[in-house]
Structure 1
Amino acid sequence: MKKKNNLLLVAITIIGLGIFLAPGSANAQTGVKRTDLQKHDLNVPGHEAVQATIDFEKGSAFGKHTHPGEEVIYVLAGKLQYEVEGQKPVILKAGQVLFIPAGTVHSAKNVGNEKAVELATYIVEKGKPILTLVK
């Protein structure tokens, strides 16, 4: 029975990740929507750049996760709180930036009174999932 429960948990995680990763999709549970803007191979073998906007409805959050490369964040609107492993939580407003090293566990939450939007640029290993959820 334990094995069945573990398989169910894996299936639910994969489905949830698929919803978040699908371009233009919304994750109704968290109120977070990602819109892909561009994706290009880099001159560094096996790496690519992916750029997307991430919309956070008021009070929404995206839990702990990692990326197979660096993430560069620019807040376009609203106020977002980021929790990055090994650092104190930080709140950023429109016009502020954040760098997240490869493989670092982090999360984001809209702590403002309106919708918040970030521009996320990922410099990642090609062929790997752009995001891995962490318990």
Structure 2
Amino acid sequence: MVVATAAVLAGCASVSAPAKGSRTVLQHEVYPSGYEVNVIRIVLPANTNSPHHEHPGLESGYIARGSVTISIDGQAEHVLRAGDTFETPAYAPHIVKNGPAETEIISTYITETGKPVTKALP
């Protein structure tokens, strides 16, 4: 289940294999319980899509500027706009589609220590 303040999910952060645009890690913490937190700033250029991907942990984010359309496998598409927050469950395959303007997303990922933030899917 995807929960959002104004819509559902998002995130195309990929620290290991970025698509187009830029990504800036804002915070990285390792917790004694074997989990780590990454806060990542994602900047999507106009008219670009993320690759089909998933996150091996919870993603919680905020649309700082711009808007995106999120397509989560098995769910209807949702539009997220500046000011919206969202949450994506672990392993929810999805694609993020950006429109005619650059979009900035701040996403927090909670994953097991050592797991990648993003996993590309076919």
Calculate the TM-score normalised by the size of structure 2: 0.81
Whole-angstrom distance in 2 between the partners of 1:100 and 1:77: 19
> CA contact under 8 A between 1:32 and 1:61: conserved in structure 2?
no
Q: Give the partner amino acid of 1:35.
A: T
Which ranges in structure 1 are unaligned for 5 or more consecutive residues? 1-19
Identity of aligned residues (%): 28
SS in 1 for 2:76: coil
Q: Identify which of structures 1 and 2 has the higher relative contact order when contacts are C-alpha pairs closer than 8 Å and 6+ apart.
A: 2
Aligned residue pairs total 109
SS in 2 for 1:95: coil
C-alpha RMSD of matched pairs (Å):
1.7
Report the equivalent of 1:21: 15
Is 1:99 the counterpart of 2:98 in the alignment?
A: no
Whole-angstrom distance in 2 between the partners of 1:106 and 1:56: 15
Change (3 A) 1:42 1:86: farther
Report the equivalent of 1:118: 105
Which ranges in structure 2 are unaligned for 5 or more consecutive residues? 1-13
Query: Larger % of helix: which?
Result: 1
Divergent runs of 4+, >3 A = none
Q: Give the partner amino acid of 1:86.
A: G
Is 1:59 the counterpart of 2:47 in the alignment?
A: yes
